[in-house]
Amino acid sequence: MSMHRVLTALGCALTAVLASAAAPAPTQAAPTGPARPATTVRTQDGLVRGAAHDGYRTYEGIPYAAPPVGRLRWAAPRPAVPWRGVRDATRPASACPQPAGEVPGGSTDEDCLRLNVTTPDDTRTAHPRPVVVWLHGGGFTTGAGSSYDAHRMATRGDVVVVTVDYRLGALGFLAHGGLPGSGTFGLADQQAALRWVRAEIGAFGGDARNVTLAGESAGGYSVCAQLASPAAAGLFDRAVIESGPCTGRPDRPFAPSSVLLSAARAMGSDLAAKVGCGSAHDVMACLRSVDVTRLLAAQETDQQPAYTTPLLPDDPAAAVAAGRFHRVPVLIGSNHDEGNGWAAGIVRAGNPVDPGTWPDVAAAFFPSPGQAEAIVREYPVHDTDGGPVFGAVIGDADFACPTAGAAGLLAVRVPVWRYEFADEHAPPLTPGTPPFPLGAPHASELPYLFDLGGRPRDLTAAQYRLADAMIDYWTRFARTGDPDGPSTPHWSRRTVLSLEPDHIVPTRTAQRRHHCAFWDALR
């Protein structure tokens, strides 16, 4: 295994630790607030009984498509099967199959195409509420919609929030010759969920004509993919992209990206061989008979959607550059210290970054001739700053600069609002003491928008004010396509979200210099 693959795997392991520290098993999660008598809503597939809480209601584990099992494993999502009687929607459903991480112990339940609805208590409003559809992150291999308790966003912002589970890993992105939908089953699931929202959300008080598609990390990149997917036309009206820049590249391994269908098919062939189906007369029939546990053990750590496919004809980066994307307003951004969590995990795992090791570490991630030397010159490491410097390289190369580039390309054709989350005292999402201060690393904005795993947010009074302001910005954008409003400081087209020390500071200039011209020249 190459040094690049080893360190990437360590980064993925760190992400899983981060997620599991933030969110217990979905089946253990419970919305905050005392429960009230259940409430029932009629959908086209049948009645669902949710739970009423203090000021909001939740409906969990609602099927939006048929279980992708048996012959439907690696098939396009089919309509959900209607049910008789009243379906209990007071507890989250199982997460989609995945290794242990965000979901302690993992999951092997393929009957997972479910979604969760959180709505303010009064569903008899004069006007339907804007809808936010949230796509979770997790590198397309882990994550669960039920990890994101959205009641604060729903009640403060007066919106309906839908969190979605979609197929992950090899079950979501396997590609094989002759298999329709190769490499994009997870993206197809997201579109099926959006179609469900258009058809059903009115029963929950939501406005089916005002839907914002939002996500973070792999979820943010999924939003990019849906912007570029012809099949997603008309399914959403605004887009929020958090730390998942549309211009991700496979050679920058920490940010999500897509791969050519031919490369995805090669990975699919490798998977088939690993589980004993490579030489089978009917490879797909053989694969559909393989136990989920074996598939999870055999799949690659890295998973990406495939392009040059019917659902995703172009790499989203190329589609955005060429203007081939849906014309909806976009709110896009990243965190000030995106790379520090990965850098800290790699250092903690026994890979020090110091002046002596820095050239080799840089070469492990940027093996093309001359790249590592240029990076070492641009980002010099001194005696004690190796970890933060490595974090800055990851953050600039994989997130900050691609986000700036994507925002500029999108802004040529649609209204774009760009942010940087920069609370240097953001609560840590991993246990223990890191080898250096992490600042605002990848995913650190999430506790400001959600209670992760049903846990109340551990924020200071000033951070609660920042969290309230962020929810105001996000939900106002969902309502009107413009985050500005009278209750928050003015949002310029490039806004920094931080504390100084007791209030929010949006500014017109970034608070640190991103070396984007350097990274553009390094391509």
For 335, half-sphere exposure in the C-beta direction (CA atoms, 13 angstrom radius) is 27
Six-digit token string for 153: 């966003």
Six-digit token string for 244: 């998942």
Greatest Cα pair distance, the chain, in angstroms, is 68
3-class secondary structure, 353: coil
Six-digit token string for 60: 């969990």
Q: Using an 8 Å Cβ cutoff, are 225 and 319 in contact?
A: no
Q: Exactly one of 60, 242, 338, 420 is catalytic; which is it?
A: 338
CA distance 384 to 254: 24
Beta-carbon contacts of residue 241 (< 8 Å; ≥ 6 apart):
214, 215, 220, 221, 223, 224, 330, 331, 332, 333, 406
Strand ranges for 463-520 from DSSP E = 494-497
Q: Exactly one of 107, 146, 217, 444 is catalytic; which is it?
A: 217
3-class secondary structure, 158: coil
Beta-carbon contacts of residue 84 (< 8 Å; ≥ 6 apart):
46
Residue that is written with structure tokens 């979501």 in the block:
172
b/e for 401-420, b at 16 or more Cβ within 10 A?
Answer: bbbbbbbebbeeebbbbbbb
CA distance 355 to 358: 5
Is position 338 annotated as part of the catalytic site? yes
Q: Exactly one of 176, 326, 442, 515 is catalytic; which is it?
A: 442
Is position 257 annotated as part of the catalytic site? no
Residue type for position 417 = W
Beta-carbon contacts of residue 253 (< 8 Å; ≥ 6 apart):
4, 8, 11, 302, 365, 398
Is position 373 annotated as part of the catalytic site? no
Q: Using an 8 Å Cβ cutoff, are 218 and 140 in contact?
A: yes
Six-digit token string for 452: 């992760």
Listed residue (390, 486, 367) closest to 441, CA to CA: 390
Beta-carbon contacts of residue 369 (< 8 Å; ≥ 6 apart):
none
Listed residue (184, 176, 177, 172) closest to 143, CA to CA: 172
Beta-carbon contacts of residue 272 (< 8 Å; ≥ 6 apart):
176, 278, 280, 283, 286, 287
CA distance 413 to 40: 43
CA distance 91 to 50: 8
Catalytic residues: 217, 338, 442
